[in-house]
Amino acid sequence: MTLASSADDRRYVLTLGCPDTTGIVARIATFLAEVGGSIVEAAYHADQDTGWFFTRQAVRASSIPFGLDELREKFASVAADIGPQTEWTLSDTGKRKRVVLLVSKEGHCLHDILGRVAAGELDAEICAVIGNHRDLEPVAQRHGITFHYVSFPKDPAERGPAFEQVRKLVDAHDPHAVVLARFMQVLPEELCEHWAGRAINIHHSFLPSFIGARPYHQAFTRGVKLIGATCHYVTAELDAGPIIEQDVIRVSHSDSVSDMVRQGRDVEKLVLSRGLRWHLEDRVLVHDSKTVVFR
Amino acid sequence: MTLASSADDRRYVLTLGCPDTTGIVARIATFLAEVGGSIVEAAYHADQDTGWFFTRQAVRASSIPFGLDELREKFASVAADIGPQTEWTLSDTGKRKRVVLLVSKEGHCLHDILGRVAAGELDAEICAVIGNHRDLEPVAQRHGITFHYVSFPKDPAERGPAFEQVRKLVDAHDPHAVVLARFMQVLPEELCEHWAGRAINIHHSFLPSFIGARPYHQAFTRGVKLIGATCHYVTAELDAGPIIEQDVIRVSHSDSVSDMVRQGRDVEKLVLSRGLRWHLEDRVLVHDSKTVVFR
Amino acid sequence: MTLASSADDRRYVLTLGCPDTTGIVARIATFLAEVGGSIVEAAYHADQDTGWFFTRQAVRASSIPFGLDELREKFASVAADIGPQTEWTLSDTGKRKRVVLLVSKEGHCLHDILGRVAAGELDAEICAVIGNHRDLEPVAQRHGITFHYVSFPKDPAERGPAFEQVRKLVDAHDPHAVVLARFMQVLPEELCEHWAGRAINIHHSFLPSFIGARPYHQAFTRGVKLIGATCHYVTAELDAGPIIEQDVIRVSHSDSVSDMVRQGRDVEKLVLSRGLRWHLEDRVLVHDSKTVVFR
Amino acid sequence: MTLASSADDRRYVLTLGCPDTTGIVARIATFLAEVGGSIVEAAYHADQDTGWFFTRQAVRASSIPFGLDELREKFASVAADIGPQTEWTLSDTGKRKRVVLLVSKEGHCLHDILGRVAAGELDAEICAVIGNHRDLEPVAQRHGITFHYVSFPKDPAERGPAFEQVRKLVDAHDPHAVVLARFMQVLPEELCEHWAGRAINIHHSFLPSFIGARPYHQAFTRGVKLIGATCHYVTAELDAGPIIEQDVIRVSHSDSVSDMVRQGRDVEKLVLSRGLRWHLEDRVLVHDSKTVVFR
C-alpha cells in the first residue's frame, strides 16, 4: 500500500464489479497469469445480499510486457466475456491522480491535505483550490497552488451562476476527485450527478446522526458520549451518499460545543484523508448506495 | 473505584446538584472537614451552558465518627443553606444496591450482568429477573435468582395489565435500578415517569442513529462503517432519554447483518455493564435531558 | 462470516501458503471453477518482505458435486503442481471443531467462551476443561462439560508428570485448539512444540510490553495510559509467539491496579474470543513468527 | 476547556500537590470563596498508592478583585499552612505560554503544532524552532518563526558543544515547554535535569514496547496488531519518563513498515498535540515517575 517510490513500485490497478457467478476469479486470474502479471494485492468480495461480485487487483507494472492501453484492450474482451453488466477500471499508479479542493473558511482539512501531499504521503496532484471566501487563499498560495475565489450570493436561489462557475473551474482539470473540504455549500442536484462517484464530502458528524447544519451543536444538545465524522460520496439527497469512512472520538459532559468542534476537527482530518487516499488508490467500489472498501 | 472489599473500603457517597454560585465547594468541603471526613474521590462540574453545579464526593466511612443517618441529617442543613433548588443524595457503599432485570429472548446482556455479579466484579443484588418469554428462565435459575414470567398479549393496546403486573413485581423490591436488558418492549409513559432516573435501557445502535426497531438492519442498509450501542435512562420519548454511555465497533462491507448482530452484542454488553456500574456507584447525575458522568 | 445455520451455509475452506510466483491464483481459481465451486469469500496476501503468498477461500459446499475427501484428493495435485513448499488445508464448516480449555482460578475467559458456545455464537465443541485448581469445576459442570483436575506441585521442577497428564487428557480429543484461558502455567518446551499452531494463549498485556507475571501491576507502576491484552500462539519462548489479535482500553491516574484488572478482563475476553474464532474459522495463517489474519 | 477568547474566559489556574490529609479541599475552597473566586473547573485526586493529594482549579479571573501577584501572595500562606511538602503553581490563561520546538528532518509534528497555533486552536507562543538539520527551516519561516540550525557532529561523544548551544538558544526564551518534535537526539543527563518537567518528547511507539531506535521496524518484526505513540516528559533514562498521553491505531499483515510509518505519524501528531495542550493548560501534575492528567 506504499506509494510508487521506485520504478518497481509502479502498479496497474484493476477494479471490477458484476453479478456474481462461478468462474469470474478464474477468468481474471488466468488472464493476468497469461500476460505474466505479478499480483501484489488482490481482494474479492461476493455480496450475499445483492449477489454482486467485486474485486480489486494490483499488478506489478514491470511484470507486464506491454503498456496500459494494450492491457486495457486485452482485458476488455475478458470483461465482455464475464457479462454485459460488468463495470471495470484499470489505472496506473505511475500517473498521479488529479484533485480539486472546494473550501470555505475553515482551513483544517485544507491544511491537512496540502501537508500530506507536500510530505509525499498522499500521492496526488492538487490542481486547484476553489473557495467561496478568500480566507484560505494564502494557504493555497503558500503551497504554490492556484486559488479561485467564487462569490456566492446570500440568497440560495441565486447561486446557480456561482455553481456554474465552480463547475467550469473544476472541469477544466478533469479531476479524479472533487473534495468538499468543509465547503459548507449544498451542491445542486445536477452537479451531484455530473460528479457522481468523484465528489467526496466530509461531514462533521457520525452519519446518519446529525444530518445538516451545526452537527456539533446537535451533538452537544443530545448529550452523546462520542462525536464523529463521515467521509462520503456526494449525492442529491443531503448527507445520504455512500459512506467511505467514519470514525469517532470520546467526549464528556465537561466538553463545550467549542471543545467538540476542536476535537472533532482531528477526526474530520483523519477520516477525510483516509477516504480520499482510498478513493485515489481505487480501493472504493460503489454499488447502489453502499461502498466496498478494499483497505 | 474498587469495590468495598474490606471494612476500610466502605464509603459514603454524596452527590449534589444546584445552581452554580461562589462558595458551594467551600461549604461542602468545610462541612466534610469538620466531621473529619477523609475524601477519597471528589469530582466537580460547573456547566457553563445551564449554570448548574454538580459534585460527587466519596468519603471513607470509617473517618466519620457517626452513622449515615446522622450524616444525612447534618448535611441537610448545609444543603438547605446552599439553596432551595439543591438536589442531593448520600449513600453507603456498604449497602448493596438492588437491581431488577427485564428481559425477553436474547440472553447476552443477562448472562453478562449475572456473570459479573457472580465474579464479585459488580457490587449489586439482583432481586429478580422478569421476562415476557420463558427462554431465559434457566439462566436466572442457574444463578439462584427468581424468574417471573409475564405474558404479553400480541396486541400492544392490550398490554396494560401485563405492564401493571411487571410494575408490581418490580416495585416489590424497591430497586435502585430497573434494567431493560434487551427487553424489546416500549414502556408505557406512566412507567417511564414512575421509574424516572432508575430505568436503564440498552439500545443496540449509536443513538440518535437508528432509533426504534431492527437497528442493525438499518445500519447494514445505510452502509455505516461503525456500529454501536447506547445505554440511557428511559423516558417517555422512545430512545431519547439521557445518555449514560456509548461505544462503537468497526464493521466493513464483508459483514452481514448477522455478523453485525454478533459483534454488536459485545458492544451492548460492555456499554450496559459500564452504564449500570456508574449508575449504581452514583456516578451519573441527570440534569434536563443530559447526564454528567463522574467516571 | 456467519455460522453454518442452514445447509446452504456449509462451506469448504481452503488455506494455502507457498513462495509467491505468477499464476498461483489462476491455478487455484481455475481448479475451483472447474469443479463448479462457488466462491463466497476469498482473500490473498503476497508478503513483500518474505516473498510468501497466502490465500484463504471459502466455497459453498453445495456447489461441489462430490465430497470433501475427493476435493482434497483432487486439490493435492494442484498443490503439488504449485510447488514442493506449498502448505495447505481444506476443512468443512459442517464439522464442528474441537476445543480443550486449560484454566486456573480466574473464570472470566471460561465463562465468556462457554457462554458464546451456548448462545450458538461460537461454532465449536468444547470437549473438556482442565484446571490446576478446582475453582472452576462448577462452571464447566453447569454447561455439561467434563472437568479434569490436575494437581500441580508447587516446585516448578516437579511439574513434569502433571504436564504429562494434561497432555494425555488433551490429546485424547485430538483438538483443533488448546486454549490457555488464563491457565497461568508456562508450558514446557516439548508441549509447545507438540501443540504448535494449536495452543492459543491470552496474555493480559499489550505485548511485547509487560511480558511475564503480573502485567497489570507492571502497567500501573509504569503509569501507562492504555492497557491491553494479546492473543497469541504459544511457543517455547515466553509470550513471544505469533500474535493473532490485540486490543487496548484507556485507563487514567484514577485507576488502581484492581480497576485495571477489572477493565482488563473485558479486553482479555474480547481479544481471546476473536482470536479463537478466527483460528477455528481457518482465518489465521502462520509464517515464521508472524500471522496473516484474513478477518 | 476553551481558549481565552473573551475577557471573561480568562482564568487563574491553581495546581497543588501534597501529602493527603483531611481538610485540604476545605482550606483551598474556603480561601477561594473568601476572595470571591468563581470556580469554573475543579479536579481532585487522592492517590491511594502514594498517599499524595493532587488538585487543579480554574477560577474566573474577573471574579477576583485583585491581580495574580496578590492572589499568589495570599495563597502562599494557605499553602504553607497545608504543609511544608506542598508544591503549587498559579498561572494566568491570559498570558500565552512560551514553547521552543526541537526538530530534525521529519516535519509532520512541526507542521501540526504550527498549524494548530496558526488556527488559534493551541494557545501558545512558539518562540523558536531549533533543528540539527536545515530541512524544516522553510516550514518555520513560512510561519514567521525564527529557525536556528545547530550542527551536530556524527560522533555522539563530541556533541557536548552542540547541546550547549541548544541549551542557550532554548533558555533565552525561558520556555514553559521544550518540545522534542521528533528531534531524534538523546538529551544528555544534565539537560534532562535542567529542563525537568518542561521537556516533552513524542516517541513513536506504545511505550514501554519498542524503546529506542526504529520502533516501527521493531513493531513490524514482532507482528503486533496495533501500533502507537507516547508523549512523555524527558528524563535521564531513555524513553522512561512520566507518560502524559498514549494512543494506538490498528494495523494488519498487509501493512509494510512504510505503511506503519505513515499511519503512525497520525497517531504521533494527535498524541503530541494533546499532551502539549494539557501541559500548557497545567493539567499535568507529575509525582515520582507518573502523571496525574486532569483532562
Q: Which residues of A are catalytic?
A: 239
The residue of chain C with its CA nearest to that of A28 is C26
Is residue A1 in a domain? no
Chains that touch D (3 or more CB pairs under 8 A): A, B, C
Q: Residue A162's pLDDT is what?
A: 97
Partners of D115 in the β-ladder: none
pLDDT at C6: 55
Q: Where are the beta strands (DSSP E) in chain C?
A: 11-19, 39-47, 52-60, 87-92, 97-103, 124-131, 147-149, 177-180, 199-203, 226-233, 243-250, 284-287, 290-293
CA-based nearest residue to B129, from C123, B16, B117 = B117
Assess if residue C138 is contained within a domain. Answer: yes
Whether A253 and B225 lie within 8 Å, measured CB to CB:
no
Give the nearest chain D residue to A266 (CA atoms): D270
State the smallest CA–CA distance between residue B258 and chain C in angstroms. Answer: 7
Query: What beta strand segments (E) does chain B contain?
Result: 11-19, 39-47, 52-60, 87-92, 97-103, 124-131, 147-149, 177-180, 199-203, 226-233, 243-250, 284-287, 290-293
Q: Are strands A243-250 and D52-60 parallel, antiparallel or unpaired?
A: unpaired
CA distance A276 to chain C (A): 23
Chain B residues close to D22, C-beta within 8 Å:
33, 36-39, 63
Q: Which domain holds residue A259?
A: 97-293
Q: How many folded domains does chain B comprise? A: 2
Contact C63 A25 (CB under 8 A): no
Q: What is the DSSP letter of C157?
A: G
Of D32, D43, D63, the CB nearest to B26: D32
Provide, as residue numbers in chain C, all residues whose Cβ is less than 8 Å from the Cβ of D20: none
Nearest-by-Cβ selection for B254 from C1, C255, C265? C1
> Do C142 and C272 share a domain, yes or no?
yes
Q: Is residue D67 part of a domain?
A: yes
Query: In chain B, which residues have their Cβ closer than 8 Å to the Cβ of C121?
Result: 262, 265
In this predicted structure, what is the pLDDT of residue B55?
Answer: 96
Do D99 and D170 contact (CB within 8 A), yes or no? no
Listed residues D50, D76, D92: the one ending a domain: D92
Q: C214 and C103 in one domain?
A: yes
Can you state the percent helix, strand and coil of chain B, rounding each to 5? 35, 30, 35
Of A2-11, C271-280, D253-262, the least confident:
A2-11
Among B35, B62, B92, the domain-final residue is B92
* Domain assignment present for C108: yes
Question: Considering the domain boundaries, does residue B242 fall inside one?
Answer: yes
Phi (first) and psi of residue B148, to 5 degrees:
-110, 125
Please state whether beta strands B199-203 and B177-180 pair in parallel, antiparallel, or not at all (unpaired): parallel
Spatial CA neighbour of B285 closest among B123, B84, B53, B96 = B53
- Given an 8 Å threshold on Cβ–Cβ distance, is C223 in contact with D242? yes
Grid cell in block for residue B118: 457472580
Distance from CA of B204 to the nearest CA of D (A): 24
Q: Do B243 and A223 touch (CB under 8 A)?
A: yes
Q: Exposed e or buried b for every residue in A141-171, given b needs 16+ CB within 10 A? A: eebebebbebebeeeeeebeeebeebbebbe
d(CA D36, CA D59): 10
CA–CA distance from D18 to each of B91, D50, D86 (Å)? 29, 11, 5
Across A122-138, b (16+ Cβ under 10 Å) vs e yields: bbbebbbbbbbeeebbe
Side-chain-facing half-sphere of A200: CA atoms under 13 Å: 30
CA–CA separation, B276 and D218 (whole Å): 41
Cβ of D253 within 8 Å of Cβ of C293? The answer is: yes
- Chain mean pLDDT for chain B: 94
Residues of B in contact with C111 (CB under 8 A): 115, 119
pLDDT class of A3 with cuts at 50, 70, 90? very low
Angle at which helices A68-82 and A24-34 cross, to 10°: 150
How close does chain C come to A41, measured CA to CA in Å? 6
Q: Is the dihedral of CA B69, B72, B76, B77 positive or negative?
A: positive
Is residue A229, in this structure, part of any structural domain at all?
yes
Residue D4 reports pLDDT greater than 90: no
For the domain that residue C194 is a member of, what is the CATH number?
Answer: 3.40.50.170
Distance of alpha carbon A120 from alpha carbon B293, whole angstroms: 43
DSSP assigned state of D242: P
**Nearest CA to D254 among C287, C243, C292, C244?**
C292
Residues in C closer than 8 angstroms to A3, CB to CB, are none
Best mutation target, B1, B39, B48, to test chain D (most D CBs within 10 A)? B39
Helix H or strand E segment including D127: strand D124-131
A225/B243 Cβ within 8 A: yes
**Contact flag B248-A254 (C-beta cutoff 8 Å):** no
| Partner residue opposite A44 with nearest CB, options C27, C34, C42 | C42
Q: Cβ D48–C225 below 8 Å, yes or no? A: no
Residue with cell 507562543: D125
Task: Tell me the average confidence (pLDDT) per consecutive run of 10 residues in chain C, 295 residues long.
Answer: 58 97 93 93 91 95 96 97 97 97 96 91 96 96 95 94 98 98 94 97 95 94 97 93 97 96 96 98 96 96
Active-site amino acid positions of B: 239
Q: What is the pLDDT of residues D197-210, one digit of tens each?
A: 999 999 999 999 99
Listed by number, the residues of chain C in 226-285 with a beta carbon closer than 8 Å to a beta carbon of chain A are 250
Question: What contacts C135, CB < 8 A, 6 or more positions away?
Answer: C104, C105, C107
With a cut of 50, say whether residue B143 has pLDDT above it. Answer: yes
Chosen from D226, D278, D284 to mutate, greatest number of chain C CBs within 10 A: D226
Question: How many other CB atoms sit within 10 Å of the CB of residue D155?
Answer: 7
A101 and A156 part of one domain: yes
Does B5 score more than 80 pLDDT?
no
Residues of B in Cβ contact (< 8 Å) with D1 = none
The reply to whether residue C119 touches residue B142, judged by beta carbons under 8 angstroms, is: no
Q: Which CATH number do you get for residue D52?
A: 3.30.70.260
**What are chain C's partners, defined as 3 or more CB pairs within 8 angstroms?**
A, B, D
Which of D75, D92, D109 is the last residue in one of the domains? D92
Helix (H), strand (E) counts: chain A = 8, 13
**Taking CB atoms and an 8 Å limit, are D25 and B29 in contact across chains?**
yes
Same domain (yes/no): D157, D278: yes
The DSSP annotation for C194-221 comes to HTTTTEEEEESS-TTTT-SS-HHHHHHH
| Chain C residues lying within 8 Å of D220, measured CB to CB | 49
How wide is the angle at C-alpha A81 spanned by C-alphas A76 and A87, nearest 5°?
A: 55
Reading across the β-sheet that carries A226-233, which strands appear in turn?
Answer: A147-149, A124-131, A97-103, A177-180, A199-203, A226-233, A243-250
The pLDDT value recorded for residue A27 is 95
- Calculate how close chain A gets to C4, using CA atoms only, in Å: 14
The answer, yes or no, to whether residue A2 has pLDDT greater than 70, is no
Chain B contact present for D1, CB below 8 A:
no
CB C244 within 8 A of CB C284: yes
The residues, ordered by sequence, that sit 6+ positions from D56 with a Cβ below 8 Å of its Cβ are D13, D14, D15, D16, D41, D42, D43, D282, D283, D285, D294
Domain membership flag for residue B1: no
Count the neighbouring beta carbons within 10 Å of the beta carbon of residue B95. Answer: 12
Q: What is the pLDDT of residue D1?
A: 38
Determine contact: B36 vs chain D, CB below 8 A: yes
Q: Is C59 on the interface with D (CB under 8 A)?
A: no
| A124 and A260 assigned to the same domain | yes
Find, in chain D, the residue whose alpha carbon is nearest to that of C294: D253
- Grid cell digits, residue D250: 490498528
Task: Count interface pairs A-C at CB distance under 8 A.
Answer: 65
The average confidence (pLDDT) of chain D is: 94
Across the interface, whether the CB atoms of A46 and C40 are under 8 A apart is answered: yes
A81 found inside a domain: yes
Active-site residue among C239, C255, C266, C288? Answer: C239
Q: Are residues C232 and C259 in the same domain?
A: yes
- Do A222 and B208 lie within an 8 Å CB cutoff? yes
| B166 and B26 both lie in a single domain | no
The answer on C177 and C264 residing in a single domain is yes
Closest Cβ–Cβ partner in A206, A222, A225 for B245: A225
Q: Per-residue b/e over D41-53, b at no fewer than 16 CB within 10 Å?
A: bbbbbbbeeeebb
**A197 in helix, strand or coil?**
coil
Neighbours of chain B (3+ CB pairs under 8 A): A, C, D
With contact defined as beta carbons under 8 Å apart, do D27 and D81 qualify?
Answer: yes
D160 and D273: one domain?
A: yes
Please indicate whether, in this complex, the C-beta atoms of C255 and B1 are within 8 angstroms of each other.
Answer: yes
Do B160 and B58 lie in one domain? The reply is no
D4-13, D30-39, D106-115, D258-267: least confidently modelled range: D4-13
Whether A79 and A102 share a structural domain: no
Distance in angstroms (rounded) separating the CA atoms of residues C102 and D128: 59
Closest CA to C206 of B271, B267, D222, D244: D222
Across the interface, whether the CB atoms of B119 and C142 are under 8 A apart is answered no
Which DSSP category does B240 fall into? Answer: -
Mean of the pLDDT values across residues B127-144? 95
CA B59 – CA B74 distance, rounded (Å) = 15
- The ipTM (two decimal places) reads 0.93
Per the structure block, which three cell numbers stand in for B167?
410494575
Report yes or no: D291 at the C interface, CB cutoff 8 Å. Answer: yes
Q: How many CA atoms lie within 13 A of B199 on its CB side?
A: 26
Say whether both B88 and B32 belong to one domain: yes
| Beta carbons of A1 and D259 less than 8 Å apart | yes
Measure the CA–CA gap between A142 and D115, rounded to whole angstroms.
13
Mutate: best of A16, A22, A56, A294, partner C, most C CBs <10 A: A22
At D72-90, the pLDDT tens digits run 999 999 999 999 999 999 9
Q: Please state, in angstroms and rounded to a whole number, the distance separating the CA atoms of residues A279 and A225.
A: 30
Owner of C-alpha cell 492504555:
C226
Which of the four pLDDT bands, split at 50, 70 and 90, describes residue B212?
Answer: confident
Cα distances from C43 to residues B283, C46, C273, in angstroms, run: 46, 10, 22
